Structure 1
Amino acid sequence: MEQVKILAFGAHPDDVEIGAGGILARHTAQGIRVAICDLTDGELSSNGDVPTRRQEADRAAEILGLAGRYRLGFPDRGLTGTREQIDEMVRLIRRLRPQVVLAPHWDDRHPDHTACSRLVKEAVFDAAVGKKAAEDGQEPHRVQQLFYYFINQTGKADVIVDITEEYPRKKEAILAFESQFVPGPGRTETPLNRPTYLAMVEGRDQIWGHQIGTTHGEGLVTAQPIPLNGLV
């Protein structure tokens, strides 16, 4: 069975771990099938190479307990939103049929993160178009909820998920990308491997946790209302 309940898209390996690693760990701990899709291999990153990044991504997937990790192999800094790119994302959504999709927030310093956000929105929309699905020989699929997670920025969250118990796994999954977050001989200094970066991520998660009365939380934003059966 390949279907999943949650499918999280990232422009690069490690994006999802930074912004929603705790959420994914919380759901996999409950036996819920969750997957990540990396649009690129992050081949233009200052440190590491494609084989290394793939090994690190596989290790992070194991730590988070993912049901699958998919790589679409789009070019780093080449998320142009061509019909071919969006169609490939649509095919994956229809194949995995997730109830919930996660994407990077549209306001981020990295252009690939904002491009990924836009592409996911388009792919989620197209995946539900019945006539287009029939043309492609596929069954349409309507995602129930699209949430956006934060990577380099922060902001007001519409939903905060308690990840206190899962925080050690989130940190371990991030640090599985040693080439990106751990400084060392021969590695270029980047915003990611400065001590302040992971401190920022945890500080942000602690602020969100404080807002809901826990130690750590992850914030999500939604562009559409969240349905409730009632208030009590």
Structure 2
Amino acid sequence: MSEDAKLDLLVFAAHPDDAEIGMGGTIAKAVREGQAVGLYDLTYAEMSSNGDPDTRQREAAEATALLGLAVRGNLELPDRGLRPGTAQSDKLVEAIRRHRPRAVFAPYFIDRHPDHIACSRLTEEAVFNAKLRRHMPELAAWTVDVLYFYFINDVHTPQLVVDITEVQPVKMAALSAYRSQFEPMGEGEDWVPTPLTAGYLDNVAARDRLFGAPHRLAYAEGFIPKGPVKMERL
């Protein structure tokens, strides 16, 4: 698919693996339903304690194939250098205008990682600026129907959930592609223990079960929309 291809859903993430953690099942489900889904990582995660940018890109490519993403790109912003309120958001504006998505997704703005918070704010700014016809007039303005926030590290009360029971194995396979982040290495390997290497994937699955339980679903992912969401019927 070309870099200007129309997308149904467009996801932004600070680092490769963030979107897979928070909404990998929703991505896989949307793709199975015939929707075109794109994902842009803002950084190469060059400050990660484990792995390196080349490794992370190979892992992201594997996850991309498993999820069936139509587009995946990297905006090449600095890891631990994301700055809301700056021209950095214009890179996100460009992606929104080129792909003209119905919905945009970003990390929830309460999270233990500062980059996740910054990505959330940059996306919110970009969604707003993308509809302003005098901002970056070389690209036609585009108004997104809805902005959704997904959760990465923490558990918050969702305002809506998506049943991902049938695609949970796909989500976990995509996450397992990031071996440098989630698998403890042996002695002599260049790695250090982090919260991600201490059963983090089990915690992700447990959260998906937690979100699903009140609705008698085996697994679900939770979201918070910015503003009301239009529904055709209840």
TM-score class, shorter-chain normalisation, is: over 0.9
Residue 28 of structure 1: aligned partner: 31
Classify the secondary structure of the residue corresponding to 2:10: strand
Residue 148 of structure 2: aligned partner: 147
Match of 2:194 among 186, 190, 200: 190
Q: Distance in 1 between matches of 2:215 and 2:134?
A: 43
Classify the secondary structure of the residue corresponding to 1:147: strand
Over residues 150-170 of structure 1, what are the superposed CA-to-partner deviations in whole Å (9 max), with x where a residue is unaligned?
000011111100000000000
Please say if residues 13 and 106 of structure 2, whose CA atoms lie closer than 8 Å, have aligned partners that are also in contact: yes
Classify the secondary structure of the residue corresponding to 1:69: strand
Please say if residues 85 and 122 of structure 2, whose CA atoms lie closer than 8 Å, have aligned partners that are also in contact: no
Residue 163 of structure 1: aligned partner: 164
Q: Distance in 2 between matches of 1:161 and 1:79?
A: 29
Once the two structures are aligned, what percentage of the paired residues are identical? 43
Letter of the structure 1 residue corresponding to residue 184 of structure 2: P
Q: Equivalent residues in 2 for 1:56-75 (5 A)?
A: 56-75=59-78
How far off is 1:212 after superposition? Answer: 1.7
Over residues 73-109 of structure 1, what are the superposed CA-to-partner deviations in whole Å (9 max), with x where a residue is unaligned?
1010000135331111101110011101010000000
Letter of the structure 2 residue corresponding to residue 72 of structure 1: L
Match of 2:98 among 70, 92, 95: 95
Letter of the structure 2 residue corresponding to residue 124 of structure 1: V
Over residues 13-46 of structure 1, what are the superposed CA-to-partner deviations in whole Å (9 max), with x where a residue is unaligned?
0000000000000011112100110000101101
Aligned length: 228
Match of 2:132 among 124, 129, 144: 129
Gap change, CA 1:77 and 1:64, over 3 Å in 2: same
Unaligned runs of 5+ in 2: none
Q: Distance in 1 between matches of 2:226 and 2:216?
A: 25
Q: Which runs of 4+ in 1 moved over 3 A?
A: none
Q: Distance in 2 between matches of 1:64 and 1:47?
A: 23
How far off is 1:229 after superposition? Answer: 3.3
**Structural RMSD (CA):** 1.1
Task: Indicate yes or no: 2:177 matched with 1:176.
Answer: yes
